[in-house]
Chains A and B, each alone.
Chain A
Amino acid sequence: MVGPPILFLCALVGYPFLYGIWLSLEDRPVAHAGTFVGLANFVADAQDPVFWRVTINTFVYTFFATILKMVGGLGLALTMNQNFRGKNIIRALMLLPFIVPTVLSTIAWMWMLDPGFSVINWLLKYSGLADPGPSWLGNPTLAMISLIIVNVWRGLPFYGITLLAGLQTISPDLYEAATIDGASTWHRFIYVTLPLLKPVIFIVTMFSIIFTFADFQLVYVLTRGGPANATHLFATYAFDIAMGGGQLGMGASVALAMLPPLALIIIAMSIYMKPNKS
């Protein structure tokens, strides 16, 4: 019975993964035979200032986007867990950013962040706050902030819906008992909701970190890593080197740089998910 899944994993996950590792150890120009070079590609990465810029960018992007999605998603789930008219429709609408293809929604954001057509800048201008509005994608700091905002917008429904599912598994009896004991709303959240929701928050955060860390589409459509590498992430930089530059080995080594931090996260996840035998 375990044969087919193992075969499936080996073919679709194991082979590409091992091939990626092999590529990273080769000087492998596109459409040419490779030459084994050991860790030379990783050494070259370590000496490449853009690689370190990309590393910092990826951590900054992942950290802030994940925190904002976690806090926002929890707020969204708590709101959606209330009883109000049109609850089901609102819940369905909430999923829209997640359902719309990323490339499509990112193009919409591209227009919203354009200095000439930006609805945000238009509002800033007509409310007298800024004229002209900021250069959302031209300024290195604002470009990173813009990418984080778009990522949060896209990822919030995933958090919201998953945490909502978690909230609905909490028995109302527990809240009733806490209320009888004199717990305030805040105390009920701190001592009932949060501890019971913790496993779901943990899992959803881990998944989100993995997806955010390896993000590609959003950056590729909005900035392609510019201005001057201010928004390049591991995935976009690896793609440029491998496809644009035709250096498959070096591209693979950049992509593999994601492995150690992601591996640590997966290990943490595995330990946390291990059944408690006691």
Chain B
Amino acid sequence: MTNIIQAASRRDILKISALTAVGGILGASRAGAAPKQMTMMHESSFIPAYDAYFKNTIAPAYEKATGIKIVYETVSVGSIQTRDTTVAETGTGPEMAQMAFNWPFLFDQKLVDVTDIAKIIGDKAGGWHANAAEAVVVNGKWKAIPFGNIGQLMNYRMDWFDEVGVKSFPETWAELLEAGIKLKKNGHPFGFELGHGFGDNHGWLYPLLWSFGAREVDKDGKTVAIDSAETAKAIDFCREFFQKTMFEDVLGWTDVSNNKAFLSEQISCTNNAESILYVAKRDFPDIGKVTGQAQNPKGPTGERFHMLNPWTHGIFTHTPDVQAAKDFMVWLMDPKQVAGWYDVADSYYGPFLHAYDDASFWHKEPRNLPYRDSMANSHLPGWPAPISRPQSESVAKYVVVDMFAKACAGKSTKEVIADASAQLKQIFKNA
């Protein structure tokens, strides 16, 4: 990453530093024909205070400092990718937008190179986490500014685990299986999504695969590596885990299903973002008191992994005044502004900047700390291969998820690996 950051010329950095110093950061009015208004598009947060903070605190503060009005346009949950696609395709609409997963790669030609400001923002806040670049650096250029990671970890009922003699969350998948068998017998099955949602399925199945030493594609991003003994072991484990700890319905679950099942006390453990604990504390305080959160278990390799689920901010190339948008981004990501935004979200969006490694919001709820610690071993689907178009296609076609799901539904390990391998070879043939 250091190399990437050094790629930005010293002149560029001096230029942007000077501009930000003159402009937003110090609150002075921007000279010349500054835009009167710019728009930042975001997916609605399930934390209302998060959106309200931008509208009521951040945007007015920037307008006061620079005279530029920032419109915060929210789109409904699940539709941001469609909106980003429309904006990128038509070249009209908001100047800045929230992205997720590997979208900066998908939209790279329509996004401004922000390597220069990434360096400034990073320097000001203790530097970037090592994996911040994983989803935003395309051909050596930062195409978006990482904002926060929505970690996918284990959510479990501490009281029910305790009842079966499990006092702390299991360290390995094997131990979790053992606990799950006892809990299911006690009427408290597990519920891990194996259907076609957009996050909670990949959220545990890729980490499971990796922790068994298996990979979808090699580091080169071309060689399909799914057909391996490690994959077979991961599938055999998943089938047993499903049969002995869960119920059939998880095969058809989408992303809302496990939240609903956990909060209605149907399941004792799932893999999810912090939203379960957040909603439990708000709406079901009794459940909130007994909900625990833990990092994903380790596999036979002794390693544990998590899904990287980054939210990032990109500037579209159709933006009339790119410098104004960059200035705003630098101002926004300054700890003076962004710390408050992170804070109202109660650590739901885990910052990619080291300055927040021990921020007070992590300590408001110590049960959220595993989300912070998971950052070190979080990766995008397809890891260790670099982000690529074939990888996006594989995720969109649920190749890995369905490989596990079909095994759980009764197909043989050999068959499901052969199916997935054939699909991946087709997808990666021109990689």
Contacts and interface: CB of A to CB of B under 8 A. Distances in A.
Contact of B251 (A31, A225, A227, A244): A227
A229 B397 CA distance: 9
A271 interface: no
A49 B88 CA distance: 31
Given A116-B261, A227-B409, A228-B406, A243 B195 contact: no
Contacts of A32: 109
B168 interface: no
Contact of A48 (B82, B85, B109, B426): B426
Contacts of B110: 31
Contact of B196 (A49, A117, A224, A241): A224
Interface stretch (B57-65, B242-250, B333-341): B242-250
A115 B389 contact: no
A226 B195 contact: yes
B398 A29 contact: no
A31 B89 contact: yes
Interface in B257-305: 257, 260-261, 264, 266
B397 A245 contact: yes
A240 B396 contact: yes
B252 A223 contact: yes
B422 interface: yes
Contacts of A136: 252
A143 B196 CA distance: 13
Contact of B88 (A31, A114, A229, A240): A31
A42 B423 CA distance: 15
A139 B260 contact: no
A138 B252 contact: yes
Contacts of A31: 85, 88-89, 106-110
Contacts of B251: 135, 138-140, 226-228
A259 interface: no
Nearest to B106: A246
B428 interface: no
A42 B397 CA distance: 16
A226 B254 CA distance: 8
A135 B85 contact: no
A196 B406 CA distance: 49
Contact of A49 (B198, B260, B261, B422): B422
A44 B429 CA distance: 11
A168 B261 CA distance: 49
A114 B260 contact: yes
A137 interface: yes
B63 to A, nearest CB: 30
A62 interface: no
A277 to B, nearest CB: 49
B252 A227 contact: yes
B40 to A, nearest CB: 19
Contacts of A132: 247
The prevalent SS among residues of A at the interface is loop
A29 B389 contact: yes
Interface in B185-230: 194-198
A137 B393 contact: no
Contacts of B81: 243-244
Given A44-B426, A137-B252, A245-B395, A30 B88 contact: yes
A115 B251 CA distance: 12
Contacts of A116: 260-261, 264, 266
Contact of B248 (A114, A117, A135): A135
Contact of B107 (A30, A138, A241): A30
A53 to B, nearest CB: 10
A241 B266 CA distance: 33
Given A143-B252, A223-B196, A223-B254, A241 B397 contact: yes
B392 interface: yes
B106 A30 contact: yes
B395 A244 contact: yes
A132 B247 CA distance: 10
B405 interface: yes
B356 interface: no
A68 interface: no
B350 to A, nearest CB: 24
Contacts of A114: 249, 257, 260
Interface in B316-344: none
B51 interface: no
A184 interface: no
A247 B251 CA distance: 26
A115 B426 contact: no
A247 B266 contact: no
B189 to A, nearest CB: 11
Given A30-B106, A32-B109, A115-B247, A245 B392 contact: yes
Contacts of A115: 247, 249, 266
Given A31-B107, A139-B248, A223-B196, A244 B396 contact: yes
Contacts of B261: 116
Nearest to A232: B196
7 A-B pairs with least C-beta separation: A245-B396, A226-B196, A244-B396, A137-B252, A226-B195, A138-B249, A224-B196
17 contacts: A30-B85, A31-B85, A115-B249, A138-B195, A138-B251, A138-B252, A223-B252, A226-B405, A241-B393, A245-B389, A245-B395, A245-B396, A246-B106, A246-B389, A246-B392, A246-B396, A247-B392
Given A31-B109, A116-B261, 7 more contacts: A29-B106, A30-B89, A50-B397, A138-B253, A225-B398, A226-B196, A243-B82
Interface of A: 29-32, 44, 47-50, 114-117, 132, 135-140, 143, 223-229, 240-241, 243-247, 250
